[in-house]
Amino acid sequence: MHVRRPATLASLAAELGVSRTTVSNAYNRPDQLSPELRRRVLETARRLGYPGPDPVARSLRTRKAGAVGLLLTENLSYAFRDPAALGFLEGLALACEGAGQGLHLVPINPEREDVAAVHRAGVDGFVVYSVPDDDPHLAAVLSRPVPTVVADQPIVEGVDRVGIDDRAAITALAQRLTTLGHRRVGVICMRLARDRNDGFASVERQQAAHFHVQRARLSGVADALGAAGVEWARVPVVERFDHSTASGESAAAQLLDSDPQLTALVCTSDILALGAMNEARRRGLRVPQDLSITGFDGIPEAERHGLTTVRQPVLEKGRAAGKLLLASVDPTRPREVTLDTEILSGATAAPPRTAEERWFGP
């Protein structure tokens, strides 16, 4: 007995004495052959251990892979730790599931700029989530002749997009602070470019940021403060490469050390804000009496801590990205989806203490 090569559609057809077409039809178009023959085909398939048409060969012919690729800059595992990313992923998975499409997570090694994985992925389209404008993987995705949807960022000419109005949302939030009377405000933001810069971010760096979302949020804060007469160039902005509460803590420390007069910290994510709250507690500063803190995202953890923040519909965003991609054959689909946000009032924003209060207590 020799090592039998696995059965194929052709070998099955030969065994049965019918054409390959007929075997193919037995699987894909039952109405095209008599029930009796179909039964025979399937039975013989079982006997020979034929597992059904090979998915890759089928994909080649039909030009459909049945899967959507997801591109993330970070380690895949990052996505599983960040609640906002996780919500997005869940929404996207939901949309794919509903359409019977697989979700192919593209493996990115952030160390090596290895774009090959993007070219190797057998998918019908890509969703790109939160990568910098100049990411080489993004370029690789765009070079492939498949539809693409970008979530949040970056903004690429002619590419479908789903996101929120980051700028307007954070402007509204920051306005609450200025309305409460805050004028000395510090800002904590996420990485602005692919290079690591854990420290103050100059206005030039802010404007040159490769992460559109961060850029938009910073200018949103600038808008609100500007409207209250605060000169943006004097507002300290601290950047952190890693997105973690530890980053929020050290950033808050850096801000408060450099300017103890700050009455409010605006953070561009809830994770950072939660870290900032930790640092405030460590310093014995009461939030919001001594220090107001705001976040962004509206993750469950933030809600539990009563953080004043912007809630964005992350799950809905993922779902919208999936739907948009899967509808890409439809010329009447929207080319851009902007979802609504909502301010969660929380309990971490209050009027600043006056100078007297600072010294003598309320």
Q: Which option in a copy of itself, DNA, none does residue 103 bind, with CB closer than 5 to 8 A by kind? A: a copy of itself
Tokens coding 54: 């090979």
Q: What's the rounded Cα separation, in Å, for the pair 145 and 7? A: 33
Q: What's the rounded Cα separation, in Å, for the pair 44 and 38? A: 10
> Interface with DNA includes 63 (CB under 7 A)?
yes
Q: What's the rounded Cα separation, in Å, for the pair 305 and 278? A: 11
In the complex, the smallest distance separating the C-beta of residue 57 from DNA, rounded to whole angstroms, is: 3
Q: Which option in DNA, a copy of itself, none does residue 37 bind, with CB closer than 5 to 8 A by kind? A: DNA
Closest to DNA by CB, 25 or 245: 25
Q: What's the rounded Cα separation, in Å, for the pair 219 and 207? A: 9
Closest to DNA by CB, 22 or 175: 22
Q: What's the rounded Cα separation, in Å, for the pair 264 and 227? A: 17
Q: Which option in a copy of itself, DNA, none does residue 86 bind, with CB closer than 5 to 8 A by kind? A: a copy of itself
Could you give the string, one character per residue 21-60, with x where binding to DNA holds by CB under 7 A and - elsewhere? xx-xx-xx--xxxx--x------------x-xxx--xx-x
Q: What's the rounded Cα separation, in Å, for the pair 232 and 220? A: 11
Residue from 17, 158, 361, 362 that binds DNA (CB under 7 A)? 17
Closest to DNA by CB, 10 or 347: 10
Q: How many residues bind DNA (CB under 7 A)?
A: 29
Residue 159, phi then psi, degrees to nearest 5: -110, 135
Tokens coding 262: 């700050």
Interface residues toward a copy of itself, by CB under 8 A: 6, 51-60, 65-67, 69, 75-77, 80-81, 86, 89-90, 93-94, 96-97, 99-109, 114, 116-117, 119-122, 143-145
- Of 222, 197, 195, 196, nearest to 207 by C-alpha is 222
Q: What's the rounded Cα separation, in Å, for the pair 122 and 63? A: 10
Q: What's the rounded Cα separation, in Å, for the pair 235 and 225? A: 9
| Contact residues for DNA, defined by CB under 7 A | 6, 8-10, 17-22, 24-25, 27-28, 31-34, 37, 50, 52-54, 57-58, 60-63
